[in-house]
Each structure stands twice: as structure tokens, then as C-alpha cells.
A = this chain, B = another copy of it.
């Protein structure tokens, strides 16, 4: 039985988790847009919607939020593009995703499950934890 966290500590943890959830979607969009730009040369709302499994209207609305956050730009009927900041975020997210998947695989999680779980887990992994993951993988290679 571990020691109980103080009221304040626990509240802070939950708060952090809540804010992580609000940025998770933005990260997913940015990562996906980067992916589409690279593999298809363009990122269209309909493609994004299909990949995420949501309606195109939902995608359009969220893209608007991504733009508002300064991560992307878009002109009507002309697709979506990342800003400098968006590209930087996409890179960070991609690296983190790979690291999480690699770690899960190293622990014996089957690839398919690792990829699926990483999708949810990655948004909640702190820098500190990420470093520990990298260290662990290095030591075992």
C-alpha cells in the first residue's frame, strides 16, 4: 500500500491529465496532417475525417481549432498546411509515438496492441518518463 497523495497533489495531477486531453486532439490532427502532406502531397479535410473515423464536418470544425491554435493554415478548397510551429509539434509527436510503441514492443506487447494503445498513452507521457523509456531501450539494445 503506497502512501496517499495529499489533496493538493492529487488535484494537480488530475488537472494536468485534463489539460493533456485538451491538447491530445490537436496533436493527433497535426501528426496526421504531416503524415498526409508527406505521403500524398496534400491534406484534405475528407481524408483527415476518414482516417480519424469522424464525419467531415467534425474534421472541418477541429481543423478550424488547429488553425486558431496557430498550428496550421488553410484556404477554402485548397487543403491544410502546417505552420512552422505545427511542423515542430508534428516532429515531437512522431518521435514520442515511436518511442512509446518501441517500448511497449520491448516489453512484449504484440505490435498491433502496442500501436493501438500508444495512440491513447502517448499524450500522457511526460518528458521525464519519455527519457526513462529511451534510457531503458538503449540499455537493452
Chain A: residues with CB nearer than 8 A to chain B?
2, 4-5, 7, 10-17, 20-21, 28, 39, 50-54, 98, 101, 103-104, 107-110, 113-117, 119-121, 123-126, 128-129, 132-133, 135-136
Contacts and interface: CB of A to CB of B under 8 A. Distances in A.
Contact of A53 (B12, B109, B135): B12
- Copies of this protein in the assembly total 2
A141 B62 CA distance: 46
Q: Secondary structure at chain A's binding surface: helix, strand, loop or mixed?
A: helix
Contacts of A117: 124-126, 129
Given A12-B53, A14-B53, A53-B12, A109 B128 contact: yes
19 contacts: A7-B51, A10-B52, A11-B52, A13-B119, A14-B28, A14-B51, A14-B54, A16-B119, A21-B120, A103-B107, A104-B132, A107-B132, A108-B136, A109-B129, A110-B128, A113-B126, A114-B129, A117-B124, A120-B123
A125 B132 contact: no
